[in-house]
Amino acid sequence: MRELAPIVLFVYNRPWHVQQTIKALRKNELASCSDLFVFSDGPKGAADKRSIQVVREYLQTISGFKSISIIKKKRNIGLADSVINGVTEIVGRYGRVIVLEDDLLTAVDFLRFMNEALDYYSEENKVMQISGHMFNLVTESKADGFFLPFTNSIGWATWQRAWEFLDPKMSGYGVVKNNSVLRKKFNLGGAYNYFDMLEAQLKGKIDSWAIRWYLSVFLAEGLILYPTHSKIKHIGFDGSGAHCDDSGSRVYANSVHITNTTQINFPLVSLDRDVYSQVMRLFSSQKSLKCKLRNLFVKFKF
């Protein structure tokens, strides 16, 4: 295995969630060998100052990693700019990065899976992201992962070569808008209207890094490796965060899975059409999914 990828964690004003995220991450097999960078956004208003202070006091007590760097913002810049700026900075220095937010519980082999996948597909330009999360699906895959054509914001990793495709200004919007075939493909065959989010982003109604990253990967015809079973459990849909509630919980993993083999069986770089069809059916069947997926792409507009 090459030098381990640095971990970038974005936090705001939820002390309990941050503590749970760190506790789980610290139990990872490779935590003590990994560099951790924590980006703490500044307060949006006076009401947030105390909770942010509590979070930052806790951050000072963290141990169990190779190194810990805490970057505190004096003013609020929001999650979208935090992620874009933070990932750009760290991936530019290290060439690869693992990204988490402050409400994600990881399996003890999460870092192993992410680092080995980053190594395995480092020269595969079509692979643009590694996902740590998988939806609640039962698959017959014999491998420990498969490829899907859309990005994920619940614990992920990427390389500098892929992140260079990020287009924050969404200059490719017109390409999708003016091509009905591409637009349908972008919307997962009509299972979910991601294009509506692009327009909302352009109109300033939302502020999402994730929808811009998805567009960038989509236009580059990239693929994303998903684990066969999720290595991330999301604990933020409890009403504690902006844009987060408990709707559509059946879609997302409610537990984490450990790969019980010494060698991870990675798949060939090819879209898994069977799993993709299952995902589209799952998305289409959930009445509350529109809000839920929107949450994932716009979460915590600080």
C-alpha–C-alpha distance, residues 158 and 247, integer Å: 29
Take residue 272 and report the two structure tokens written for it.
């898994």
Domains of the chain, earliest start first = 7-298 (3.90.550.10)
To the question of pTM greater than 0.75 for the whole model, the response is yes
Distances from the Cα of 222 to the Cαs of 149, 214, 216, 237, in angstroms? 7, 9, 9, 29
Burial of 287 per CB tally in 10 Å (0-12, 13-18, 19+): exposed
Distances from the Cα of 201 to the Cαs of 41, 159, 207, 220, in angstroms? 21, 25, 6, 20
Q: Are 248 and 203 in contact (CB under 8 A)?
A: no
DSSP 24-90: HHHTSTTGGGSEEEEEEPPPSSHHHHHHHHHHHHHHTT--SSSEEEEEE-SS--HHHHHHHHHHHHH
Residues 6 or more apart whose Cβ sits within 8 Å of residue 54: 15
C-alpha–C-alpha distance, residues 133 and 146, integer Å: 12
Residues 6 or more apart whose Cβ sits within 8 Å of residue 42: 52, 72, 73, 74, 75, 76, 77
pLDDT at 285: 78
Output the CA angle 250-188-216, nearest 5 degrees: 110
pLDDT at 140: 75
pLDDT at 248: 44
Q: What is the pLDDT of residues 244-296, one digit of tens each?
A: 444 445 566 666 777 766 889 999 999 999 999 999 988 887 655 555 555 55
Which residues in the chain show pLDDT less than 70?
Answer: 1, 237-255, 260-261, 286-302
Of residues 255, 232, 240, the one with CA closest to residue 16? 240
C-alpha–C-alpha distance, residues 111 and 138, integer Å: 23
Q: Are 77 and 48 in contact (CB under 8 A)?
A: no
Take residue 201 and report the two structure tokens written for it.
């982003």
Of residues 93, 294, 276, 147, the one with CA closest to residue 210? 294
Backbone angles phi, psi at 203, to 5 degrees: -85, 0
Q: What is the pLDDT of residues 55-68, one digit of tens each?
A: 999 999 999 999 99
Type and span of the H or E element at 146: strand 145-148
pLDDT at 141: 79
pLDDT at 291: 52
